[in-house]
Amino acid sequence: MIKIRAGVENAMKFDVASITAGPGESIKVVLTNACVLPKTVMGHNWVLLKSGTDTAAFANAAAPEAASGYIPEKQKDKIVAFVGLLGPNETGEVVFTAPSAPGEYPFVCTFPAHCAIGMKGVLVVKK
């Protein structure tokens, strides 16, 4: 299990920026929003993307999608797994299978501007 805290001391970052897994490994990510500000002002999510996805373009596409928790409907084919938008002190989780192809798979928070400020990381799949 990978425990990740988002927004510690209201910073725009995850406290875990890199995860390593083997191809096809089962992974459980538990995300906690450590921020104290309201979800509408400082919500956080965790979105794992396919290798090679342009994180800035994905985050920009997500920015106007508040109704869907900043998960862009037209970009869902680029998502491997995600934890939905969380408010202060909320926790969410996702269990997924790591991609079978070795490589780097970026993860981001898609709340507007968070990825651009640095709220991102990488899942490294290696044999």
Predicted TM-score of the model (pTM): 0.96
| Residue 119: CA count within 13 A, CB half-sphere | 27
Predicted confidence at residue 8, as pLDDT, reads 87
For the chain, 127 residues long, give each residue's pLDDT as a single digit of tens.
999 999 988 888 999 999 999 999 999 999 999 998 899 989 999 999 999 999 999 999 999 999 999 999 999 999 999 999 999 999 999 999 999 999 999 999 999 999 999 999 999 999 8
Predicted confidence at residue 11, as pLDDT, reads 85
Domains by residue range for the chain, with CATH: 2-125 (2.60.40.420)
Inter-CA distances, 32 with 56, 68, 117, Å? 23, 19, 19
For 56, phi and psi rounded to 5 degrees? -65, -45
CB atoms within 10 A of CB 74: 8
Say if strands 103-108 and 91-97 run parallel, antiparallel, or are unpaired: unpaired
Inter-CA distances, 67 with 18, 64, 72, 84, 120, Å? 29, 8, 10, 12, 22
